[in-house]
Amino acid sequence: MSPSNQNNNENRGYIIPIGGAEEKFHNPEILDRFIDVCGGKSARIAIIPTASELEDTGRNYEKLFRQIGVQHAKVLQIETREDCSNSEHTDYIEKSDGVFMTGGNQLRLSTTLGGTPVAQLIRRRNADGMHVAGTSAGAAFMPEHMIAGGDEGSTPSPDMVRMAPGLGLTNNFIIDQHFRERDRLGRLLTALAYNPFAIGIGLDEDTAAFIRPGDDLEVVGSGGITIIDPTNLSYSSMDRARRGDPVSLIDVKLHILISGGRFEIKSRQAFAE
């Protein structure tokens, strides 16, 4: 899926991928910022727990948002593709200021939501100004090209990553999560070797990229974000590498950004603050 058509890109809502394990109680900076972007405590938030197999995941986030002070937060229990045609779910999303997708398994999201009325509506509403956040699996699912799984390690290899279609909110980025904690540099580099038109975003835990209309991003949270820019890639051995072989990539640019750091997609420039 590709991003929904927009009459004016400046009207698009934020896209907010979170690296997982975001702070929820003592200083929920990321969730507070998400609520502020959505309009404050009076915002209406739709929670989609489809990625998780735990029954209480959605309810826990619903309670959490209400403890923070959100007046209207509701879990949409979407477990099957048939659920994605439920008018109660689509009506709530239609009236929402923000959607929050929980963690779990991103393939549960892509195989359950992909191509359904719910997925189409989220894309259209984001194009019209609704904000979409996702943590862990919910973050990986956001772009057009989704990392579905892969291996740990720092050196890219042809079989190190599995790709699948994502939600399609943007085609400018490929997103990976739990990045530093699970040693995922190699699999993000492998994904970019297959798709060198995109920018890679590697999200540490408790760290989010607040991607504005126009695809400029700001870092929020306690960790770092690894930005991998293959724009000037001059050489790749991916086309001749065999299964298990290391892959050579030359002239790939890498940035590490922490809270307050920014990256501009048009200029491909990074800023410390």
Residue 178 annotated in active site = yes
Q: Which two tokens stand for residue 51?
A: 């990625």
Given the residues 22, 144, 205, 218, the one annotated as active site? 205
CA angle 41, 18, 12 (to 5 degrees): 65
Distance CA 21, CA 1 (A): 28
Per-residue burial over 77-116, b = 16 or more CB atoms within 10 Å of its CB, e = otherwise: bbeeeebbebeebbebbeebbbbbbbbbbbbbbbebbbeb
Q: For residue 117, which of 144, 90, 97, 143 has the smallest C-alpha distance?
A: 90
Helix or strand (DSSP H, E) at 149 = strand 145-150
Token pair 């058509």 is found at 5
142 within 8 A of 123, measured Cβ to Cβ = no
Given the residues 136, 145, 157, 236, the one annotated as active site? 136
DSSP 201-263: EEEPTTEEEEE-TTS-EEEEESSEEEEEE-TT--EE-TTTPPTT----EES-EEEEEETT-EE
Given the residues 131, 157, 178, 218, the one annotated as active site? 178
- Residue 69, C-beta contacts closer than 8 angstroms, at least 6 positions apart: 35, 41
Active-site residue list = 136, 178, 205
